Structure 1
Amino acid sequence: MRQHDYVAEVSCGGTVLEEYGTNVTDDGKLVSCWIQSEAGKEFAITWKFDVQDGSRGAIAKTYVDGSQIGHDVCTGVHGLNSKQYGGADVDDKTYKPFRFTPISLTDDLGVATHRDLVSLGTIAVVMFQGTKEKKLGAHCVQLGDVVKRDQPLKPPSTTHYHWGHVDEKKPLFTFRFMYRSREFLQAQEIIPYTIEDNQPQIMNAGPGDESPEPELVGQVTNIPIKDESDDEDVDALQRQLEEMQEKIQRIKRKRPPNQSTKVEVKTEKRIKPESGARQRPHLKYNGDVIDLTSD
C-alpha cells in the first residue's frame, strides 16, 4: 500500500502479497486492505520512505496482532530509506521468523485480553513525521587508571544529530493489513473463486461402474380416439398422424448425434366394439415405419 511518499507491504518468500479491498478513510488517516494468509508460511513486513532528500525523515511503529515489534527511523538517503522485519530478535545474531499459524480456540476468557481480540489478525505500520534535532554533545568524565592507547585519541564531536517525532501523539496515518485464509476471503466475497475452486470433484469409476450412454426415448401415449362416423374417424386419425409426425421430427432434431431414438405411440384401451362396427386401428411407430394396419 502507498500513501503519499510512504509505502508498506507484506511479503512471503520474497513475493509481495496481493492486496484486496484497499480502502482509505475520508481524512486519509487509515489505509487498510485484506491479504491472504496461509498456515505455516513465513512472512516479512517492509515499510519505506520513498524520497531522495536526506534532510527529511520518517518514523514508524510496527505492530503484529497488537504487539509492537519495531520502532525505527528512515531518511531520504539511499540505502537508509527502508526497513524490514522478518521476525522477533532473540539476540544480535538470531531471530524467530514470523509465521502464519491457525488459531487455537479456547473457552477460557482469561487467556486473551480485549486488545488481543481486537488486534488479532492485523499487521499495522503507524507512520510519524520525523524531525532532525540538534543536541549538545556534553559528557561527564571520571578519571580512572592509566591505560595505554593503541592509537591517538580523536577529539569527540561537540554536536550530533538524531531524529525525533514532531508529535508522537499525532501520527500521519496508519497502514493496516488484515490477514485471513483464502476460504474466509472467498466466503466474504473479498477475493474471487478460481477455476480450481469451482471445478467439481470427479470420482474414478471402476471397471464395473461404467454406465451406458443414456438412450433418448420419446413417448406419445394415451391418444384418445372418439367413436365417430367413418369419415370423421379418418379425418381424426389423419390429424393425429400429422401431430405424431411433427412430434417425431422435434425429437429427432433434439437427440444427440449417433444416438438412437425410439418413439412409441399407444392408444387408450377402448370398449370392445359391437358386432358389425368398424374396429379402430392401433398406431405404432418404431424407427421410420408407421403401421396403420388394424389388429
Structure 2
Amino acid sequence: MLQRGPYWSWVTIDGTAVDIYDVQQSGNLTTCWIPSEAGKKFAVNWYNSTRDIPLKASLFIDGVHCDTHIMLDARNYPDKPNGVGVSYARTSEYTRRDFVFAPIQVSDDDDLLDSIDDSRDLGVIKLQLWRIQVQQVSTRVQKHEKRRTLEAQVVHERSKKAGSHHVQFGQEYASPAPVIDAVQAREIDAKPYLIFEFKYRPLSYLLIAHEIAPKALYTLSPTPEIPDSFEEDESLGGYNGRTIGGAVRETSRIEARLRAIRAQRRDRLELPNFKMRIKREVIDLT
C-alpha cells in the first residue's frame, strides 16, 4: 500500500491487497512494483483520511484513461465517502467489463518494430489526484460516454515487454446505469497534486529478471475490509477494470525465496475495520 500524507492507494486481486516492492518517491510521484497474475481481476483503490480538500482522481491503465471520479471535501459534504475502489469500466448504460491481467502476445512480425516505443505504457497503473474547485453538485442517472477499451496486445519479440502482462477488459455483463452525484468543477493546478504509480509484472519476472521482489517494504495481513466510507466507483472515462524438471526446480526456488522474504518483513500496516458502502461520484468539467 502506497502512502503520501493522509492519502493511501493500493491494488487488490480477488479482494486481497497485493504486496508492493521497491517504493520510490520523487516530487509529487510515488511509485512501486506489484506482482500481477494472468487471468485475475483486480481493483485500484485509494483512501483519504482527512478529506480536507475536494479532489478529482483520474485512472490510467497501460496508458489508457479508464476512469475519472470525485472525492468531495468533508466540511461541505460530511456524508460522502473517504475511499473509492475502481474495478471495471462501463461499456454502455446497461453493461460493464472488469479489469483483468492477461499475458502479452508476442510476434516476430517486423511490422511491429515501429510500435516498440508505443508499448512503454504497458504494465503501468497510474492514479492521478487533482485539486479542484467545486462549482455545483447534482444527482442524475449516469450517462455513458464511449471510450477506448483495453483489448489483447501484441508486441514484437524484441520489446522489453515481451513475456510480461497487460490489462484487458473482461467479459461484458449486465449492470444498469446507476444514479450518481455529477460534479461541475475546475482544476486548480496545471499538474496533478499527487500521482500513485503501480508498475506490474509477473512475480517470476520481478524475482528473476530484476530481483525487485526481495526489496519488499510492506505487506497487508490480513487484508483490510472496505471502510464504511468506501465506495465502488461507477464512472467511466470522461469526467463522470524449459523442461518439466527444470521448471519444478525453478518454481521451488522462487517459493523458497518468497518464504524467506515474508519471514523478514517487519513493517505491517494496520487499517481500521472497513465495510463496503456503494456510492457514486463523477465530475463534469464544463
TM-score for both structures, normalised by structure 2: 0.53
Q: Would you say 1:19 and 2:20 are equivalent positions? A: yes
Deviation at residue 78 of structure 1 after TM alignment = 4.5
Q: CA deviation at 1:195?
A: 9.4
Aligned to 2:267: none
> What is the distance in 1 between the residues matched to 2:111 and 2:50?
46
User: What corresponds to 2:188 in structure 1?
Assistant: 166
| Consecutive aligned runs of 4 or more in structure 1 exceeding 6 Å deviation | none
Q: What secondary structure sits across from 1:186 in the alignment?
A: helix
Counterpart of 1:124? 126
- Indicate how the Cα distance of structure 1 residues 74 and 117 shifts in structure 2: closer, same or farther if over 3 A, else same: same
Is the Cα contact below 8 Å between 2:39 and 2:102 reproduced in 1? yes
CA displacement at 1:14 relative to structure 2: 1.0
Measured in 2, the distance between the counterparts of 1:99 and 1:180 equals 13
Aligned pair partner of 2:55 in 48, 54, 58: 58
Q: Return the letter of the residue paired with 2:47.
A: K
How far apart, CA to CA, are the structure 2 residues paired with 1:37 and 1:20? 12
What SS is found at the alignment partner of 2:85?
Answer: strand
One-letter code aligned to 1:30: L
Which residue is equivalent to 2:67? 70
Gaps of 5+ in 1: 136-159, 201-295
Query: 8 Å contact 1:48–1:74 — kept in the other structure?
Result: no
Displacement of 1:118 in angstroms is 1.2
**Distance verdict in 2 for CA 1:192–1:52, change over 3 Å:** closer
Q: Which amino acid aligns with 1:127?
A: L
What whole-Å deviation, never above 9, does each CA across 1:254-287 have from its counterpart, x for those lacking one? xxxxxxxxxxxxxxxxxxxxxxxxxxxxxxxxxx
For residues 20 and 105 of structure 1, the distance between their equivalents in structure 2, rounded to whole angstroms, comes to 27
What residue ranges of structure 2 are gaps of 5+ in the alignment?
138-181, 216-249, 257-286
- How far 1:68 sits from its partner (Å)? 0.3
- State the distance in 1 between where 2:184 and 2:101 align: 36
**Could you tell me how far apart the structure 2 residues matched to 1:129 and 1:82 are?**
16
Whichever residue aligns with residue 63 of structure 1, its letter is: F
Letter in 1 for 2:46: W
Whose RCO is larger (CA < 8 A, sep 6+)? 2
CA shift, 1:85, in A, is 1.5
Q: Distance in 1 between matches of 2:51 and 2:194?
A: 21
Match of 1:197 in 2: 253
Instruction: Name the structure with the higher strand share.
Output: 2
User: Given the alignment of the two structures, is residue 183 of structure 1 paired with residue 204 of structure 2, yes or no?
Assistant: yes
Shift of 1:69: 0.5
State the SS of the aligned residue for 1:100.
Answer: strand
Determine if contact 1:66/1:116 at 8 Å carries over to the other structure: no
Question: Which residue matches 1:88?
Answer: 89
CA contact (8 A) 2:134 2:183 kept: yes
Deviation at 1:164, TM superposition (A): 2.4
The residue type paired with residue 10 of structure 1 is V
Q: Distance between the aligned counterparts of 2:183 and 2:89, measured in 1?
A: 28
Deviations 1:28-60 (A, max 9, x none): 22100000001111101112333154xx21111
